[in-house]
Amino acid sequence: MAIVGGGPAGSFFAYFLLGLADTMGLELEVDIFEPRHFTHSGPAGCNHCGGIVSESLVQLLATEGIELPPTVVQWGIDSYVLHSDVGTVRIDTPLREKRIAAVFRGNGPRDAPLTDQESFDRFLLDLAVERGARVVPKLVNGIEWEGGYPHLQHPDGTAERYELAAIGVGINSNLLSVLESSDIGYHRPKTTMTYICEFLLDRETIEKYLGTSMHVFLLDMPRIKFAALIPKGEVVTMCMLGDEIDLELVESFLNSPEVRQCFPPGDLPAQACNCSPLINIGSTAQPFADRLVFLGDSGVTRLYKDGIGAAYRTAKAAATTVVFEGISAEDFRKRFWKVSRSISFDNALGKLVFAVNDILKKRRFSRRAIFRMTALEQQSTTAPRHMSGVLWDLFTGSAPYREVLANTLHPGFIAHISWNLVVSLFSGAGRRPGKSAIDEGRGTNGRSTED
Ligand SMILES: Cc1cc2nc3c(=O)[nH]c(=O)nc-3n(C[C@H](O)[C@H](O)[C@H](O)COP(=O)(O)OP(=O)(O)OC[C@H]3O[C@@H](n4cnc5c(N)ncnc54)[C@H](O)[C@@H]3O)c2cc1C
């Protein structure tokens, strides 16, 4: 069997396929075609991403017996700090444990000094190899169908026949356009733009300014859907998603007071590395055919969040299908498709949640209401954490969007947000823009906010 792409989706698929096959006494040969080594620094060695492994995925991996080693986890994240023009509030993980892992997908930024760090993708690929997969360091640039079997083609003109082709090439691969123009009925999922850059700083500075928190920004910059700063040892990764992201928008975001307060005073350090990959925000209508299955980003992923978690889910579902059902389109429809469809359905609810968030983000008084409610909840040890829970799940991607939506429909949430909207509407009248009503919140890295 062939897996095209040795990112999380491809490696998880090989890992589960070989594990299940072994349990069932089946002998399988699995080749993973992956031209990257994940040991080079900079864009060439990495699968461009924020590098957050969600709380839920860290837990799921632990139940599979997969512990992320300290060389892979660059920083343990235990909280989120939400920044806006109306204040800063910190949301702690419900159990105050560093359960979210910040990792590198390659060997760190282009100009970073090499240390004993290990790439997350290399770690996963090695797990697959330990189970018996063979890594072939070759690009696949086409698939021909002969006698109903996929023949993988390479730029050097060679080709091999396989029983099954599992496509886990992400969303930025040219192979997807090639497959789209063939007659297998594949349509590449919808995408949006992103920008990722990394700054090199010393550990003490990162600890002082960012701590063990991921910093997210609720700013009235309409083209930004999501923006965050992620501390990772001696590196800070900035990730931005949205429509029509250009360098002007990146500059105005980086120069906003909310972002500048996360760095030492003076000029921002130079960007050690940057890239602008596309991110999947849709799904392909049917991520399978006879002897063909699309894993991870090439098929469907979670909207804006936990893409690695979605790669894990789709890969495991595909592996289970192959071992317990078979490799025909009908087999994938029976079992694998349920998982893909449930992710797509959840994304539709996610779109609704983000649409409401966009509306709330636009008005200063509603931003104040969100901050006020969160800050009050974080200060109390007994108050129910309605807003904190919703924001936590929304930022971390730890819960499905249907749960996030259900939590916003809880009578307690509605009562508290309504009250805070009223208070913020009236307490905000006459205040100078830039002055905050959120004196209650704890600031960047836990300090008090007086903006
Ligand atoms: C800006 C940004 C930030 C993100 N942040 C996060 C985050 O913090 N946490 C999170 O969980 N998700 C995040 N994601 C999403 C996450 O990166 C993806 O969902 C995840 O990497 C999907 O895994 P994959 O294996 O499907 O694809 P990929 O990780 O893209 O891996 C595809 C692999 O296929 C290989 N390949 C490509 N073409 C070919 C070919 N023709 N032949 C052979 N091999 C090929 C590539 O070299 C690569 O190794 C982010 C995405 C973006 C764009």
* Residue 218 to residue 384: CA distance in whole angstroms: 23
From 308, 314, 394, the mutation candidate for ligand 1 (largest count of ligand atoms within 8 A of CB) is: 308
Nearest residue by C-alpha to atom 18 in ligand 1: 307
Atom nearest to 171 CA in ligand 1: 30
pLDDT band at 381 (very low <50, low <70, confident <90, very high): confident
Check if the beta carbon of residue 198 is closer than 8 Å to that of residue 61: no
* Residue 251 to residue 104: CA distance in whole angstroms: 24
Question: CA-based angle 173:318:346, to the nearest 5?
Answer: 80
Please list, in sequence order, all residues whose beta carbon lies within 8 angstroms of the beta carbon of residue 415, skipping any fewer than 6 positions away. Answer: none
The candidate with the shortest Cα–Cα distance to 270, out of 222, 211, 201, is 201
pLDDT band at 95 (very low <50, low <70, confident <90, very high): low
CATH code assigned to 1-51+114-190+282-352: 3.50.50.60
pLDDT band at 23 (very low <50, low <70, confident <90, very high): very high
Atom nearest to 308 CA in ligand 1: 11
Give the pLDDT of residue 167: 98
* Residue 375 to residue 387: CA distance in whole angstroms: 9
Check if the beta carbon of residue 372 is closer than 8 Å to that of residue 382: no
* Residue 392 to residue 445: CA distance in whole angstroms: 16
Tens digit of pLDDT for each residue in 281-297? 988 989 999 999 999 99
Q: Count of alpha carbons within 13 Å of 93, Cβ hemisphere only?
A: 20
Atom nearest to 310 CA in ligand 1: 19
Q: At what angle do helices 411-428 and 364-379 cross, to 10 degrees?
A: 120
Distance 95 CA to ligand 1 centre (A): 30
Please list, in sequence order, all residues whose beta carbon lies within 8 angstroms of the beta carbon of residue 167, skipping any fewer than 6 positions away. Answer: 4, 5, 175, 179, 292, 293, 294, 295, 298, 299
Strand 149-153: give its sheet, edge to edge.
Answer: 142-146, 149-153, 159-161
The candidate with the shortest Cα–Cα distance to 7, out of 39, 30, 33, is 33
Percent of residues, the chain, with pLDDT higher than 70: 93
Give the pLDDT of residue 438: 37
Nearest residue by C-alpha to atom 48 in ligand 1: 7
Give the pLDDT of residue 128: 98
H or E stretch at 231: strand 224-232
Ordered DSSP codes for 393-411? HHHH--S-HHHHHHHHTSH
pLDDT higher at 116 or 80 = 80
* Residue 216 to residue 156: CA distance in whole angstroms: 45
From 143, 297, 305, the mutation candidate for ligand 1 (largest count of ligand atoms within 8 A of CB) is: 297
Atom nearest to 175 CA in ligand 1: 41
Rounded average pLDDT over 417-433: 75
Tens digit of pLDDT for each residue in 233-248? 889 999 999 888 999 9
* Residue 270 to residue 59: CA distance in whole angstroms: 36
Atom nearest to 34 CA in ligand 1: 44
Check if the beta carbon of residue 6 is closer than 8 Å to that of residue 33: yes
Give the residues surrounding ligand 1 with Cβ less than 6 Å away.
4-10, 33-36, 47-52, 139-140, 168-170, 173, 175, 194, 196, 239, 241, 277, 279, 296-298, 301, 306-309, 311
* Residue 73 to residue 57: CA distance in whole angstroms: 14
Tens digit of pLDDT for each residue in 132-141? 999 999 999 9
β-bridge partners, 102? 52, 75
Total length of the chain: 451
**CB burial string 5-37: b at 16+ within 10 A, e below:** bbbbbbbbbbbbbbbbbeeeeeebebbbbbebb
The predicted model scores a pTM of 0.92
Give the pLDDT of residue 109: 81
* Residue 3 to residue 11: CA distance in whole angstroms: 8
Flag whether pLDDT at 440 surpasses 80. Answer: no
Give the pLDDT of residue 446: 42
The backbone torsions φ and ψ at residue 80, rounded to the nearest 5 degrees and listed phi first, read: -120, 140
CB atoms within 10 A of CB 178: 15
Tens digit of pLDDT for each residue in 204-228? 999 999 999 999 998 888 889 899 9
Extract the runs of DSSP E, i.e. beta strands, from 292-426. 292-294
pLDDT band at 428 (very low <50, low <70, confident <90, very high): low
Distance 47 CA to ligand 1 centre (A): 5
Rounded average pLDDT over 323-345: 96
Nearest residue by C-alpha to atom 35 in ligand 1: 5
pLDDT band at 408 (very low <50, low <70, confident <90, very high): very high
- Chain mean pLDDT for the chain: 89
Tokens of 318: 């595909």
Distance 7 CA to ligand 1 centre (A): 6
Atom nearest to 11 CA in ligand 1: 25
pLDDT higher at 442 or 76 = 76
Delimit the CATH 3.50.50.60 region(s) of the chain. Answer: 1-51+114-190+282-352
CA distance between the termini of the chain? 58
